[in-house]
A = this chain, B = another copy of it.
Amino acid sequence: MNAYQKLEATHKRLSALRNAEGILFWDHETMMPSGAAEARAEVEAELSVMQHEIQTDPATADAIAEAEQQREQLDPWQQANLREIKRLYRHANAVPADLVEKMVHARHEATMVWREARPANDFKRLAPKLKALFDLKREEAGIKAELFGITPYEALLDQYDPGRREVQIDAIFDDLAGFLPNFLQQVLEKQAQGPAILQPQGPFALDKQEALSRAVMEVLDFPFDRGRLDVAAHPFSGGADGDNRITTRYEESDFTASLMAVVHEVGHALYEDGRPKDWLSQPVGNSRDMTLHESQSLLLEMQAGRSEAFIRHLAPIIRDTLGGSGPAWEADNLVRLQHKVAPGLIRVYADEVTYPLHVILRYKLEKAIVADDITIDDLPGAWNEMMQRYLGITPPSDTDGVMQDVHWPEGLFGYFPTYSLGAMAAAQIFAAANRAVPEIMPGLAEGNLKPLYGWLDTHIRSQGCLYLPDELIERATGEPLGTAAYKAAVTARYLNN
């Protein structure tokens, strides 16, 4: 085995462990009996230690150096694989072991306290834990920034969206922050003048909702022979290579929540399912990180799934499966229901117009913290002030304000931007696909996704990590990531309809 082959063997092993973890995690969330949690935690911890040992094996550094000497003997996929292997190795080895350990501890502490502080609306209790964690994240960011020659915030972001620059995000988010508040007012005024939006009345039996999920997944060509649908308290898409499992939860009073959540998760699952078959066990065969992942879920949910053509196709399926009738169940109303815009306190319930404002707020606060421009104690005030400025509402409590997400207590710093960068990418990729393939929209109108998927397979799904995210987007759409397609799409949908 030469040095490159050794690296492939190492990653094949890591991949096996990650696949095992994937099924164990799915099982944990869907099937595992509650009393098994403690024993399972031991198993998960040991598998995680094994991966860490492999990732930080000093022999890997030598193998990478040696493989880079023989770079010209590698084909383009192998070269990209080597680049990704090196990137992962640098991330895993940049931070000293004692800092990693402190971070695990601080994350655990912050998450535990958050679970109690949030319902008690007691930010003061969370603050010291959050401060301890943020101090460690700043330390991590400083070390990586120095090592990688990027800014500290980019160093955090790099795990979720490799190669992304702050100046790009600033440009995109400043553009949106200028555009959206005013646009939102226009949409709300137009909406207020339109017909009333009727909410179909429940209860909706859970088995019928599940039947609806499966019917919609059939329309979306979800490969049930290589995946599953199950129920979980916290929906996710996961599983293993060639075995992409999505989960959802049903609310008896409202079927619309899970309906589009399922479409969203199918987008994630199809991205995984379309990864390059020959490279499943190698880094270059991975999906291209979080911005691209979110682009694929949002493309299916927001761009294709919420297109008027597709909702009209779904309308009779929804009616027949749930047994609804009356004006609330007419296609016109179901379209309006899926296009309803309303500023709200909670990010995860936000529509596609207000969502980026939630993210921009978090991005600005994260940057201010990394730059030491504000303190932890300033966070609730800064949060509420920005909510008022962007969305015209002030949270009545920190419970539904600064403490609403688990991300910060979990140490997910630099992650939020990928949600809205993903939304921008979704619009831009969908627009490019439509320019290239005129059959896409007529297809959606009759529930035929093949024209769309054909283009996505070629330009996104099959590309794995052959390119960095921005290069992948630019190759697929012909331009760098920007806001134009998103603004055009929401303008067409919410003002010019």
Residues of A within 8 A of B (CB): 12-13, 15-17, 19-20, 23-24, 27, 31-36, 38-40, 42-43, 46-47, 50, 223-228, 240-243, 280-281
Contact = CB atoms under 8 A, between A and B. Distances in A.
- Which 4 A-B pairs rank lowest in CB-CB distance, beginning with the nearest? A16-B46, A36-B243, A39-B242, A35-B225
A226 B34 CA distance: 7
B12 A20 contact: no
A13 B46 contact: yes
Given A23-B23, A46-B16, A225 B34 contact: yes
A269 to B, nearest CB: 12
B243 A40 contact: yes
A280 B39 contact: yes
Nearest to A225: B35
B226 A36 contact: yes
Given A42-B281, A281-B42, A242 B16 contact: no
Contacts of A47: 16-17, 20
A33 B226 contact: yes
Contacts of A27: 23, 27
A443 B47 CA distance: 44
Nearest to A243: B36
A226 B19 contact: no
9 contacts: A13-B50, A16-B43, A20-B20, A27-B27, A33-B226, A33-B243, A34-B225, A35-B243, A43-B241
Contacts of A46: 12-13, 15-16
Given A31-B228, A33-B226, A43-B20, A38 B243 contact: no
Contact of A223 (B35, B50, B241): B35
